[in-house]
């Protein structure tokens, strides 16, 4: 046989998805016991959301799910960096039918799809798409809660930007206002990591919010730098202690522009002085050591490229590969 046997339509090492759905069960049927079962589940389902509609600079995030899956075949099943095999149970559910130009409708369709996964005790990994799509995943998880919000869920948000402006040029459902929409859902805590660009309005909004923590890229990268920002400086060690102190349910959202443009140039809004990949691996490792938490959802957004072999796509694939190695 001379044909190459890899299947770039699905993430490498994902299982066949034939018995994925228990079609008789929806999220509304879950009782308290099964919600706890979901929370403890180590099964993951990848959903691509090829949506870029409100992007303000470099477009192309609609191609990201395809590029990331293709790039995932560059890795070995044995993940030598963690001395573990990637042999957990996870599925690639394919791409969502998005409605270009309509973020709300796209998020509603994603919300429905994530609820289907939850009904089968499968946790979502969302590959964007622009950052606004996180809302569809997070809203589905909020519906699991008795409170119907995020008051029992910590959101870890890695990004160069705060994305916490109430509306961007009059648009409430924009990639630049996504964390405000998440904050509207009343998170237990919002931890923003890698921040290095925000407006005065965003600065004033986060001030005095006891459930928002900020870890600036500058202080993460230069561990002993006292920084020049007026807020109390938090170092990388402080960040790891913070992660160690989290309890309960956790959702992670990674905007690829959290990384330095030297390692992740193909993003919607490249911003100098970002994180290294080793920084993120340390954060993942700290999360994996914390036995008091359950990660219930994960998204990776804002890769913007239309070129196979793009190094930013390879990095994005590596992130999902490492995440699945540690958490599936
Ligand atoms: Mn960003």
Is residue 316 in a domain? yes
Residue 230: pLDDT band (50, 70, 90) is very low
Q: Which residues of 269-307 are buried (b: 16+ CB within 10 A; e: fewer)?
A: bbbebbbeeebbbbbbbbbeebeebbbbbbbbbbbbbee
**Better pLDDT: 66 or 231:** 66
Is residue 209 in a domain? yes
Is residue 4 in a domain? no
Cα-to-centroid distance, 131 and ligand 1 (Å): 8
Is residue 19 in a domain? no
Q: Which residue has the tokens 């303000």?
A: 56
Domains contained in the chain, number: 1
Is residue 142 in a domain? yes
Cα-to-centroid distance, 256 and ligand 1 (Å): 7
Would the pLDDT of 123 be above 50?
yes
Sheet with 248-255, strands from edge to edge, namely 90-95, 44-49, 123-128, 293-301, 248-255, 153-158, 189-195, 212-216
- Return mean pLDDT, the chain: 90
Q: With pLDDT > 70 as the criterion, what percentage of the chain qualifies? A: 89
Cα-to-centroid distance, 88 and ligand 1 (Å): 30
Is residue 240 in a domain? no
Minimal CA–CA distance to 168: which of 51, 55, 301, 303?
55
CA atoms 190, 191, 194, 199: torsion sign: positive
Cα-to-centroid distance, 61 and ligand 1 (Å): 13
Q: Does the bond joining 129 to the residue before it have cis omega, within 30 degrees of 0?
A: yes
Which residues are registered as beta bridge partners of 91? 15, 45
Would the pLDDT of 270 be above 90?
yes
Cα-to-centroid distance, 160 and ligand 1 (Å): 5
Residue 292: pLDDT band (50, 70, 90) is very high
Q: What is the CATH number of the domain that holds 157?
A: 3.40.800.10
Cα-to-centroid distance, 258 and ligand 1 (Å): 7
pLDDT per residue over 156-200, tens digit each? 999 999 999 998 888 888 888 999 999 999 999 999 999 999 999
134 lies in which domain range?
30-215+247-279+291-327
- The pair of three-digit structure tokens given for residue 266, joined into one six-digit string: 């193909």
Cα-to-centroid distance, 117 and ligand 1 (Å): 27
Q: For the whole model, what pTM was predicted?
A: 0.93
Question: Alpha helices, DSSP H only, in the chain?
Answer: 32-40, 64-71, 103-119, 134-142, 178-184, 200-206, 217-221, 236-245, 277-289, 311-327
């Amino acid at each position: 046989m001379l044909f190459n046997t890899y299947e770039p339509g699905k993430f490498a090492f994902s299982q066949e998805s034939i018995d994925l759905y228990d079609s008789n069960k929806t999220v509304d049927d879950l009782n308290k016991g099964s919600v706890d079962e979901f929370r403890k589940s180590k099964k993951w389902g990848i959903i691509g959301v090829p949506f870029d509609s409100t992007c303000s600079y470099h477009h192309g995030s609609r191609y990201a799910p395809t590029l990331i899956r293709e790039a995932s075949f560059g890795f070995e099943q044995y993940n030598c960096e963690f001395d573990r095999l990637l042999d957990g149970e996870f599925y690639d559910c394919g791409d969502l039918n998005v409605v270009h130009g309509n973020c709300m409708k796209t998020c509603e369709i994603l919300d429905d799809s994530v609820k289907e996964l939850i009904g089968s005790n499968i946790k979502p990994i969302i590959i964007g798409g622009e950052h606004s799509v996180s809302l569809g995943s997070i809203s589905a998880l909020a519906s699991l809660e008795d409170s119907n919000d995020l008051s029992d869920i910590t959101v870890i948000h890695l990004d160069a930007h705060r994305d916490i402006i109430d509306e961007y040029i009059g648009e409430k459902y924009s990639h630049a206002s996504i964390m405000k929409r998440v904050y509207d859902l009343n998170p237990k805590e919002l931890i923003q990591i890698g921040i290095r660009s925000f407006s005065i309005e965003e600065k004033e909004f986060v001030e005095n919010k006891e459930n928002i923590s900020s870890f600036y890229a500058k202080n993460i990268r230069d561990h002993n730098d006292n920084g020049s920002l007026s807020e109390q400086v938090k170092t990388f060690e402080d960040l790891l202690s913070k992660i160690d102190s989290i309890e309960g349910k956790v959702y992670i959202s990674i905007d690829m522009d959290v990384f330095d443009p030297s390692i992740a140039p193909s993003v919607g809004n490249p911003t100098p002085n970002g994180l290294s990949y080793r920084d993120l691996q340390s954060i993942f490792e700290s999360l994996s050591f914390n036995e008091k938490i359950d990660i219930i959802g994960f998204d990776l957004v804002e890769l913007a490229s239309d070129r196979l072999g793009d190094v930013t796509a390879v990095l994005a694939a590596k992130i999902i590969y490492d995440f699945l190695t540690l958490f599936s």
